[in-house]
Chains A and B, each alone.
Chain A
Amino acid sequence: MSKSIMKLNNIYRSFKKGRTVIPVLKDINMDLKEQEYICFVGESGCGKTTLGKIITGLLKPSSGELIYQGKDVAKLKGSSYTDYRRGVQIIHQDPYASLNPTHTIFDILSFPLYRHKVVKGRKAAREKVSELLTSVGLTPVAAVIDKYPHQLSGGQRQRVGIARALTTNPKVIVADESVSMVDVSIRISILHMMMKMREELGSTMIFITHDLALAKYFAWKGRIAVMYLGRIVEIGTTPEITQNPQHPYTKSLLSALPEPDPDVTRRKEKIQLRSEDIPRLTELPPGCPFHPRCPWFVEELCDGEIPVLADVPDSDSNAKVACTPLTTGKGLNLYASTTS
C-alpha cells in the first residue's frame, strides 16, 4: 500500500448567510495516498467543490484537521506553509475566468515560477515556460507564449491552466470540473493530458466532477467517493463503485444516468425515488440525509441515527458505505423485500 500524502480528519465546514449557518461539509474523514487517482462525485450542493478548496488551502475548515505529509496545515508557518502551497495545486473549472485577461501566457506561467523560486531570471523562466507549454501540447510554443488568453480557444486555455498547476511540481493536483466547459471532441485529450502528468510527476490526482462516466474513465485505477449533502456516502475502488454500487444513492445516480447507447439506455432499469426534492442544507432530515428519498427506507432505523461509513458484511464489494441497514444488517429483511 502506498504512503499517505494527505489526511482529512473530521473536516467540518459551514458558511454564514445572515444569521443562518449553512453546514456544507460534515464528518469528512479520508486518507489520500501518494500518486493515487481519486474522484469526488455528487450533485450540486453536495460539497465537492468546497472540499477541493479546503484541500488546496483556498478555504479553511471550520473544524477538523487537514494533515499534509504528517503535519497539520493550520499550524504550518513560514517555509513549511510555502511547501504545502507549492505542493498542492488546483486546475479550475472555467478556463475563461481563471486566466487574467491582461496578462500574456508567459506572464501567467512565470509568476508562480518566480514566486516559488523555481527559476531565477527571465531567460530561465522563458525556458521553463516553453518546457511546460510543450508538455501540455501547446506547440509550437512561439505561437502561444506571448499571446493573451482571449487569443486562445477554450481547450488551449484549459491546457494553460494545467501548465500553471504544474509550474511548482505539485504533489497533489485538484482538478475541479476541469473539462466540463471544453467541447466533447477534445475533452478526452485534456483528461489524457492530466493522466500523463500524473504518470510523469507522480502526483496525487483529485478530480471533482458530477459526471460519473467521466470519473469512471479517469480514475479506473483509483477510487471514487460519492458525496451527498456534505457527507461521503460511499467510497471504494472505481470498478466497485461504478459496476457494483452498494449505497442506495449511488445506485440511484447510476440508474438515472442516460448512456450514449440507444439499446442500453432505453433498457436500463431505473430506480424510482420516493421524492425528487433535495432537502435544504439548513433543514436536513434527521438520521440518514437520503432517507426521505430512499426507496429502501426502513422506518425508525434510517431516520434515527446518522449512518457512518463502514464495511458491508457478506458483500462482494469492499467499499465503505454510510447506510445503517446495509452495514448493521438491521432491518435488512425489509430492505431486501423492497429491493426485489
Chain B
Amino acid sequence: MSDVVLSVQDVSIVYHADRGDVKASNHISFDLHKGEAIALIGESGSGKTTVSLSFVDMLPKVAEITSGKVLFTNRDGKTSNIFEYSHEQMRDLRWKECAMVFQGSQSSFNPVLRIREQFLDTARAHGWNNKEEVIAKAIELLKFVRLDPERTLESYPHELSGGMKQRTLIALGVLLSPPVVIFDEPTTALDIITQRAIIDVLKEMQKELGFSIIFISHDLALAAELSTRVATMYAGAIVELGPVEDIFYRALHPYTLGLLRSVPRLSQANEELSSIKGNPPDLINPPSGCKFHPRCEFASEKCATKEPPLVEYEDNHQAACWHTEKVIEARKGLWD
C-alpha cells in the first residue's frame, strides 16, 4: 500500500486582478508521504501560500484553479479529489483531516472567547460533543506544547503572549489529530528563544503524533532544521525538490544555490555572500522560457525560449534547469 497522504497533481491557480491574470501557481506536483515534513521555500510571491490554501479551499474569491487535482487519502484509506468536495465535505476535512496553522496567531483566535470555548467550538463543529473528553485532550496537548493548561484555557487571546498564542494555536491545530498539518511561517514574528521553543515542540509532536507536515517558510534555517524534504519554489512553480540534505549540500537549481549563497551562517567565521541579481518577476507578464533566466548567471539562449521541465536527476531529487552541470560546478566551495 502506498503511504501517500496528499498527492498534488499539476495544480495551477490564477488570481484575476485588475491589471490582468496573476499566474500564482503553475503546474505544481508533489506527493506528501505519511510522517514526512516537506518544506516549501521561496520568496514572497513564489506561490507557496497560494498552493497550500487550495488544499483547504481557502483561496480568496479572485482566485481560480485552472488545472490539476489534489488527491487526499483519509484515515480509512479512501482516496478522493479535494477540488471536487462539496462545501460540507470541505468543512469536514478542515481541522479533522487537514489543519492549517497560519502565521500571525493574533488573528486566528476569536478575541471575545476564552481559549476553552475555542477548543470546544472546534470539536463541536466536527461532531465531538463530549466536553470532558475535549477538555481532557486539550489539557494533554497544551502540556505537550509546554503551557500551563488551566491558565491557558481560562485566558482570552489577548492575555497570552505571542509565543503562547502560537503554541495554543498549534495545540488547537492538532486537536482532532489530523493526518496533515500545514504550517504557514509558524515562527515568523517570534523572538529567537520563543522560536526555538516552537521548533522543539513541532519536532517532538511530529515524532509522537506522526502526522505529515507541509511547512511554508522563507527561512532556510528553519527548513534545514524541521523538514525531511524541501521544495524550492520560484514564480509559482517548484524548481527543485528533494531530500533536505540534497537540497542544501547538492543543490541542482541556480535559484536554490543563489538562496544558499545569500544567507549568513553563524557558525562560519568571515564568509563571502552574494545576492541574486535583479528582482522577483512580475507574475502577470512572467519572463519567457525558464522564469528564472533573467536573474540567472548560467542562462543561455535556450533558457530564454524553452521552459525546463522538472526532471529527476538522482534518487528523489528533481530539478527544472537546462544547466545543472554548471550548478554542480558552481556549488563546489559552498560547504568547505
Contact = CB atoms under 8 A, between A and B. Distances in A.
Interface stretch (B16-24, B52-60, B89-97, B261-269): B261-269
Interface in B247-305: 248-249, 258-260, 262-267, 269-271, 273-277, 279-280
Contact of B267 (A153, A185, A261, A277): A261
Interface stretch (B25-33, B71-79, B112-120, B195-203): B195-203
Contact of B258 (A185, A256, A262): A185
A185 B262 contact: yes
Interface string A182-197: 0111111100100000
Interface stretch (B123-131, B135-143, B218-226, B319-327): B218-226
B167 to A, nearest CB: 10
A258 interface: yes
A282 to B, nearest CB: 15
Contact of A192 (B263, B264, B275): B275
B264 A253 contact: no
7 contacts: A183-B280, A212-B192, A252-B193, A258-B195, A261-B335, A265-B221, A276-B197
B224 A259 contact: yes
A79 interface: no
A73 to B, nearest CB: 31
A213 B279 contact: no
A184 B270 contact: no
Interface string A140-158: 0000000000000101100
Nearest to A44: B191
A273 interface: yes
Contact of A213 (B43, B196, B265): B265
A210 B190 CA distance: 10
B101 interface: no
A260 B192 contact: no
A207 to B, nearest CB: 13
A260 B275 contact: no
A212 B266 CA distance: 7
Interface string A209-248: 0101110110010000000000000000001001100000
A336 interface: no
Given A185-B262, A186-B279, A220 B248 contact: no
A264 interface: yes
Contacts of B194: 276
Contacts of A214: 264
A270 interface: yes
Interface residues of A, number: 42
B196 A265 contact: no
Nearest to B196: A256
Contacts of A74: none
B193 A188 contact: no
Nearest to B46: A183
Contacts of B191: 43-44, 210, 278
B308 interface: no
Interface string A295-324: 000000000000000000000000000000
B44 interface: yes
Interface residues of B, number: 46
Q: Which residue among B222, B260, B273 has the maximum number of chain A CB atoms within 10 Å of its CB?
A: B273
Nearest to A43: B191
A258 B199 contact: yes
B273 A265 contact: no
A176 B227 CA distance: 32
A257 B197 CA distance: 11
B239 interface: no
Say what secondary structure dominates the interface of chain A. Answer: helix
Contacts of B265: 213, 259-261, 264
B204 interface: no
B195 to A, nearest CB: 7
Interface of B: 43-44, 146, 161, 163, 191-197, 199-200, 218-225, 244-245, 248-249, 258-260, 262-267, 269-271, 273-277, 279-280, 335
Contacts of B195: 256, 258
Q: Which 6 A-B pairs have the closest CB atoms?
A: A189-B275, A256-B196, A260-B220, A43-B191, A217-B264, A258-B221
Contacts of B266: 212-213, 216, 242, 254, 257, 259
A266 interface: yes
Contacts of B222: 258
B248 A260 contact: yes
B275 A185 contact: yes
B75 to A, nearest CB: 30
A254 B267 CA distance: 9
Contact of B269 (A189, A210, A243, A270): A243
A156 B279 CA distance: 9
Contact of A220 (B43, B44, B196, B270): B270
Contact of A257 (B221, B262, B276, B335): B221
Contacts of B258: 185
B291 to A, nearest CB: 14
B286 to A, nearest CB: 15
Given A188-B274, A256-B192, A262 B262 contact: no
Contacts of B221: 213, 257-260, 265
Contact of B193 (A43, A242, A259, A261): A43
